[in-house]
Amino acid sequence: MGEEEIVCENCGKKLTESVIKYLEENPKAFDGRRLCYGCQKEFTKQRSKDRKLKKTFGDSLEEGKKNLKSLEIPRKLFGDGDVIQIFGDSRIGKSKLAVQLAKEAMMKGDRLLYIDTERNLSEKDRLMLKDNYIVCLDIVALKELVCNLDDSIDIVILDSIGMPVLITFAEMSPKERGEALLMMANIFGTLKKWCFKTGGFAIVTNQTKSEMSAGMLGRGNQKKKLEDLPPFGDKTKYIAKNILFMGLVERGINLTHSQLRAWGCRDLAKGTTVADIYITNEGTRIEWNTNLLQE
């Protein structure tokens, strides 16, 4: 009885003595598979193509998972591993809301990073955030910070993404404005990628695109409502898939009542009330619309 033929695992062709000898001397070649000379060439060609794609576009990401303990309602509404953008006019309590969310994250034991680009928090709030708080006033430094986020962080709050650009936006040339907006988009995209890769959760505040810069005056000199204006940042609004508008409901001597409403969300119609925020001297209270969890 003759010796058993050794054939190619891919096409079934009989292997030549020279191919068999090479495979015996290099057992890890071609991922340990027994391939004929023709299939070896195809394997090498495909591997080279895959390496070029990897060099050009980078590694594909696997979705990460974290066992987060805080912000249960917004995570159920919008999902883990993603970015929420909250935008609105000035002085309506966006930072107060952000600090309250940060406080909950810390109390529940999640690892938090609060990035303050406005230096607008009270000393009391800064002390409460402790080592979880960092000030970053420059857009270039912010980009560097976001690009190097630690994977062990659970929740990132960026308050806000627009202010570092808005501070000098009026003085910029058209080219500089375009570059600044692209940098904003890069920061948003990098943060979204970090969320997906780690399973972390990010909340980003932003300003409303001003009517002056947008030239958005309606007929009869009637101004559009603030909630009809997009968030500042041009195309960056398309990166975050869950965007909430924060609008003022009531402002009194001892109370500011604002409301979070869906502006551009995957699963919520525009204008849907997501939460009511009550800000007093005693603190900030968030009343989530829990009816949305039952729909």
CATH number at residue 248: 3.40.50.300
CA torsion angle for 93, 96, 100, 105 (degrees, to 10)?
A: 110
Task: Name which residue leads in pLDDT, 176 or 83.
Answer: 83
Give yes or no: residues 91 and 237 share one domain.
yes
Q: What pLDDT score does 127 carry?
A: 92
Does residue 156 belong to any structural domain of this protein? yes
Same domain, 256 and 214: yes
For 76, the enclosing helix (H) or strand (E) is helix 72-78
Lowest-pLDDT range of 83-92, 156-165, 218-227, 232-241: 218-227
Query: Into how many domains does the chain fold?
Result: 2
Could you list the residue range(s) of the whole structural domain that residue 121 is in?
72-293
Statement: residue 72 has pLDDT above 80 = yes
Do 26 and 96 have their domain in common? no
For residue 145, the Cα-to-chain-centroid distance in whole angstroms is 14
d(CA 202, CA 243) in angstroms, rounded, equals: 12
Contacts of 178 by beta carbon, 8 Å cutoff, 6+ apart: none
Q: Is 60 exceeded by the pLDDT of residue 216?
A: no
**Contacts of residue 268, Cβ cutoff 8 Å, sequence gap at least 6:** 77, 262, 274, 292
pTM of the complete model beyond 0.85 = no
Q: Are residues 42 and 148 in the same domain?
A: no
- pLDDT of 245 reads 92
- Residues 271, 259: contact at Cβ < 8 Å? no
67 φ, ψ (degrees, to nearest 5): -95, 75
Q: How far apart are the first and last CA of the chain?
A: 73
User: 4-19 pLDDT, tens per residue?
Assistant: 788 888 888 888 888 8
